[in-house]
Amino acid sequence: MSAIDQNNISYISNYMSFVKPPSSIWKWPRAEPVPSPPYPLNINSATVSIYEFFLNSKTPISIALLYFTTVHLINNYIRKRQIKNALANNIKFDVNDPKSVKKLPPVAFSFAKTAFFKKFILLHNIFLCLYSVWSFYSMLNVINFSKDNLYSILTDYYNKINNGASNETKPNLFWNAICDLDHGIWNINSKGLNYYAFWFYLSKYYEILDTAIILLKGRPSSLLQSYHHSGAMLSMWAGVRYASPPIWIFVVFNSFIHSIMYFYYTLSILKIKIPKILKASLTSLQICQFVFGGSLAFLHLFVTYRDSNDDFKNFKFCINSGGQAMALWINIFYLFPLTLLFGAFWIESYLNRKSKQLK
């Protein structure tokens, strides 16, 4: 886009705009380099190897496929245990009716009945709750700090060309902070979105334990559960691997929801009574997160911002490479089926159940 007159910098109020995305973002990212240091870990040969291992596309694809396949194979085994238990205890059900089989009581494995397992579940949920709160709070600070950092750069430039006489109202540099990979949220003080997004990406592997806990308790894992976890690995990988600006949405929104969700799970384990409306509200929040977050991510395609590396003269596209665009589309296409699955879960768990109770 065209450059601006340096002498009129004080009168510029529009630091971003919406335009048609460039055709270059549709190019397949074949030879784009893996994001370089500063690594979000202490730099040594071991941690660099870990970083590059998890940014290799084979890692999330292989683990996600292995996880998804293994879970559904185990599901078949657990269903057989439930049926066998129901027959042994004369529980009435129709073996040819999936809905009837789905309602069979769980048959927990011996390990799931131990005190160690129960303590582990409690600590697991407390840890993920605290971690999510930390991620959410840290990212809010990063966004605010990045906006201030960009304003400082803008002010220095303004003062340089106007002999220190600044009379400009402080602009809203939110989109600049989100999109600027050099001075915005991605790499601010080596602990920006690159740091928190990488740890958030790793946490998606740890969250597989949620499924393991369900299976050990003798209940099959739902398609919603397995799709959610496997898709999250791939979505976070793409955002981190290609330094895609919209990945901030996943980290901020998801960490906020998970803070509430794992707090709810912790209270449930401690047998603290929680109103049923809270659980329904949590599911509704998750659905809103997917719809609003996906829409906001899509909006990044049309955003341009004033480039701090060019003294704020010219506009630059927020999504300016095929890799960043690919990461965005992976997230959007992941969220669409996920939203439908959560919607179906909400209808089955709250709407249909409420209707049956009224009959």
Q: What is the pTM of this model?
A: 0.88
Cβ-contact 314, 306 below 8 angstroms = yes
**Model confidence band, residue 4 (pLDDT cutoffs 50, 70, 90):** very low
What residues are paired with 346 via a beta bridge? none
**Model confidence band, residue 330 (pLDDT cutoffs 50, 70, 90):** very high
**Model confidence band, residue 353 (pLDDT cutoffs 50, 70, 90):** low
Cβ-contact 142, 185 below 8 angstroms = yes
pLDDT one-digit tens code per residue, 81-122: 999 999 999 888 888 888 888 889 999 999 999 999 999 999
**Model confidence band, residue 359 (pLDDT cutoffs 50, 70, 90):** very low
pLDDT attached to residue 141: 94
Cβ-contact 173, 151 below 8 angstroms = yes
For residue 6, pLDDT beyond 60: no
For residue 45, pLDDT beyond 70: no
pLDDT attached to residue 187: 78
For residue 312, pLDDT beyond 70: yes
pLDDT attached to residue 170: 76
- State how far the Cα of 15 lies from the Cα of 151, in Å rounded to an integer: 11
For residue 2, pLDDT beyond 50: no
Contacts from 19-22 at CB under 8 Å and sequence distance 24+? 19/302, 19/304, 20/302, 21/301, 21/302, 21/317, 21/319, 21/325, 22/317, 22/320
Query: For the stretch 175-210, what's the b/e string if a residue is b when 16 or more beta carbons lie within 10 angstroms of its beta carbon?
Result: bbbbbbbebbbbbbeeebbbbbbbbbbbbbbebbeb
Higher per-residue confidence, 97 vs 175: 175
Helix ranges (H only) for 162-192 are 174-179
* Mean residue pLDDT across the chain: 85
Complete edge-to-edge strand list for the sheet that includes strand 315-317: 16-18, 303-306, 315-317
Longest CA span, the chain:
89
Query: Between vectors from CA 334 to CA 147 and to CA 261, what angle results, nearest 5°?
Result: 70
pLDDT one-digit tens code per residue, 252-309: 999 999 999 999 999 999 989 888 788 888 889 999 999 999 999 999 999 999 888 8
pLDDT attached to residue 37: 44
Higher per-residue confidence, 310 vs 9: 310
DSSP 307: -
pLDDT attached to residue 197: 93
CA 7 to chain centre: 42
Higher per-residue confidence, 38 vs 82: 82
Please tell me the least confidently modeled range out of 67-71, 118-122, 199-203, 241-245: 241-245
Mean pLDDT calculated for residue range 192-210: 94
